[in-house]
Amino acid sequence: MQRTALVLALAMPLFAGLFSIEFGNPDATSDPNAKGALTLVRATGCHDPAKASFVATAEGKVDGKRKSIPLEMTKLTAPGLYAIKGNLPADGKWVIAVAANWDGNFAGSAILPVSSKGVERYSAKTVHNKLTPSDISEALK
């Protein structure tokens, strides 16, 4: 039993500061810069969330053709918290692709489905690799 506790105690620092991406409801913050956002995104698990940055695009398929629209990232007052803003077309099928960097280095990606109700934050798929065109195509099926 003592050996197991020691192994766990030694392993814990390896997981401390593990970078992850979370999405939130723009209506849940009083930050005026979040007004009109599609969703919020923040870095969690890292030692200094202020070093996080994000790039987001709307990726869609309209009349069988792929479309890509850059989205605006607005930094909010909480360190590592951003509002993703932009206009998504009503026609076609759309997802939001997010790439995260921490201290200038790639840290992870996410795909958020978009439905007629808006951005489906709870259905976000996060990965630790860069998204590929096939990842986007699969999400648009």
Placement of tokens 């096939």 in the chain: 134
Decide which of 64 and 7 is more confident: 64
Q: Is pLDDT above 80 for 27?
A: yes
The predicted pLDDT at position 8 comes to 35
The predicted pLDDT at position 76 comes to 94
* Mean pLDDT computed over every residue of the chain: 84
- Give residue limits of the domains in the chain: 16-139
The predicted pLDDT at position 18 comes to 67
CATH architecture for residues 16-139:
Sandwich (2.60)
Other beta carbons less than 10 A from residue 116's beta carbon: 5
Letter string b/e over residues 81-94, b meaning 16 or more CB atoms within 10 A of that residue's CB: bbbbbbebeeebeb
* Residue 37 binned pLDDT confidence (cut-offs 50, 70, 90): very high
Decide which of 12 and 86 is more confident: 86
From residue 135, alpha-carbon distances to 91, 97, 105, 111 in Å are 21, 10, 21, 9
Q: Alpha-carbon dihedral of residues 112, 114, 115, 116, nearest 10 degrees?
A: 150
Q: What percent of the chain has pLDDT over 90?
A: 56
The predicted pLDDT at position 46 comes to 64
Distance from C-alpha of 112 to C-alpha of 95, rounded to nearest angstrom: 5
Q: Which uninterrupted H or E stretch holds 96?
A: strand 93-102
Q: Is pLDDT above 70 for 14?
A: no
Model pLDDT for residues 48-95, shown as the tens digit of each residue: 778 888 999 999 999 999 999 999 999 999 888 999 999 998 899 999
